[in-house]
Amino acid sequence: MDIGKVSELKEFIESCKSNPSLLHTPSLQFFKSYLLSLGARIPPQPKTEPVVDDDDIIESDIEFDNTDDVVQPDNDPPHKMGDPSAQVTDDQRDAAQLSKSKAIDAISQGNFDQALDLLTQAILLNPHSSILYATRASVFIKLKKPNAAIRDSDTALKINPDSAKGYKIRGLSRAMLGLWTEALTDLHVASKIDYDEEIAMALKKVEPNAHKIEEHRKKYERLRKQKEQKRAQPKKQPQNQAQDKDALSALKDGQVIGVHSVGELETKLSAASKTSRLLVLYFTATWCGPCRYIFPLYTSLAEKYQRVVFLKVDIDEAVDVAARWNVSSVPTFFFVKNGKEVDSVVGADKNTLERKIAQHSGPL
């Protein structure tokens, strides 16, 4: 087995030892089932309720249904895309159609890599065909590469905004990433354009999870308002001195600090600047599968790089913070030094995350 993978496995096992509740994560159901088949005893999942009096609101995991098909995001280099400004001749269209027909035959025989090559040839010959991109996206779905499928679906929809296949494949891809709300939106649009049984089956899996996320957001909106009301109460100590003192004492070495408002974030940014520390700003959401995948590593990095300030922001709780930083997807990490953004990472890329922390923080 690859040494790097063994190292990651050891790190994962250590995370499970320190926090056994990780084994109840829906995406790890296969691993939990395997342990149980060996006679292992899994500690029961602790029941936590959100509280509003503590410094951090405790996150309550959403128990999603139908998560067996959820995969980790693919980060392969993008496949070749056609030139949208190219002039296409009739001969090129005919050649593209021939390549597509061969690709369909390859798909029926399970030769997905060959089908990708043929569809890429067709796309380069006729980059104005929405169906070619949507068909290649469907092959990426079969290969469990949802990000690649989303890229092709986006292109298909730019060419033809009424492409039912484009919406359907993008919806299936987003469901594969655990993006239930976005998947539901795409599948609803696809069903209005051209309803089929595959869309109906997908909706049965996606709708319950999307509804759970909506209920979760409503709950945290209520908690956020309670927190704001509590913060609005007047303080008796001198404001400026208290802020400086709290800011300096708020940098908890070796810990991940939750941030719930723009004011809290500004305090942490100011304190990090005063002490010349790198600050990592991590945007997450409790319904995000890749976020749950990366968080144990993020916690261990906080313990390793104790002179770095590690913050965590739930986009559903601190909507104003997410809006100010223009967060469009989670997980997203921003690296800030002296009050200025110096780098960022989008997605659950463990190696890139640690490499950039080491790069910007200096010696341990």
**pLDDT of the chain, 364 residues: tens digit per residue:** 567 677 777 777 877 777 777 777 777 777 777 777 777 777 876 655 444 444 444 434 667 776 777 888 888 888 899 999 999 999 999 999 999 999 999 999 999 999 999 999 999 999 999 999 999 999 999 999 999 999 999 999 999 999 999 999 999 999 999 899 999 999 999 999 999 999 999 999 999 988 888 888 888 888 888 888 888 776 555 555 555 555 556 677 889 999 999 999 998 998 898 888 999 999 999 999 999 999 999 999 999 998 899 999 999 999 999 999 999 999 999 999 998 999 999 999 999 999 999 999 876 5
CATH code of residue 198: 1.25.40.10
Are both 209 and 129 inside the same structural domain?
yes
The answer to whether 285 touches 294, Cβ cutoff 8 Å, is no
Helix (H) or strand (E) holding 345: strand 340-346
The overall longest dimension of the chain from CA atoms, in Å, is 80
Model confidence, pTM: 0.48
Q: Could you tell me the residue range of the domain that residue 120 belongs to?
A: 90-217
Catalytic: which of 106, 149, 247, 291? 291
**If phi over 0 gives left and psi between -120 and 50 gives alpha, with beta otherwise, what is residue 92?**
alpha
Are both 266 and 193 inside the same structural domain?
no
Q: Tokens in use for 273?
A: 């600047």
139 found inside a domain: yes
Are both 151 and 256 inside the same structural domain?
no
Number of compact structural domains in the chain:
2
**What residues have CB less than 8 Å from 169, skipping those under 6 apart?**
134, 137, 138, 141, 149, 152, 153, 156
Are both 113 and 163 inside the same structural domain?
yes
**With the C-alpha atoms ordered 141, 146, 152, 157, is the resulting torsion angle positive or negative?**
positive
Locate the DSSP E strands across 206-277.
Answer: 256-259
**What residues have CB less than 8 Å from 52, skipping those under 6 apart?**
223, 226, 227, 230
pLDDT at position 239, please?
55
**Spatial separation of the C-alpha atoms in residues 122 and 247, rounded to whole Å:** 58
183 found inside a domain: yes
- In the annotation, is 291 catalytic? yes
pLDDT at position 55, please?
42
Are both 114 and 195 inside the same structural domain?
yes
CATH code of residue 323: 3.40.30.10
Are both 197 and 279 inside the same structural domain?
no
pLDDT at position 50, please?
47
pLDDT at position 320, please?
94
Are both 94 and 212 inside the same structural domain?
yes
pLDDT at position 59, please?
39
pLDDT at position 69, please?
79
Are both 213 and 267 inside the same structural domain?
no
Are both 204 and 269 inside the same structural domain?
no
Out of 192, 217, 242, pick the residue that ends a domain: 217
pLDDT at position 51, please?
45
**What residues have CB less than 8 Å from 211, skipping those under 6 apart?**
none
The label of the residue with tokens 């913060």 reads 231
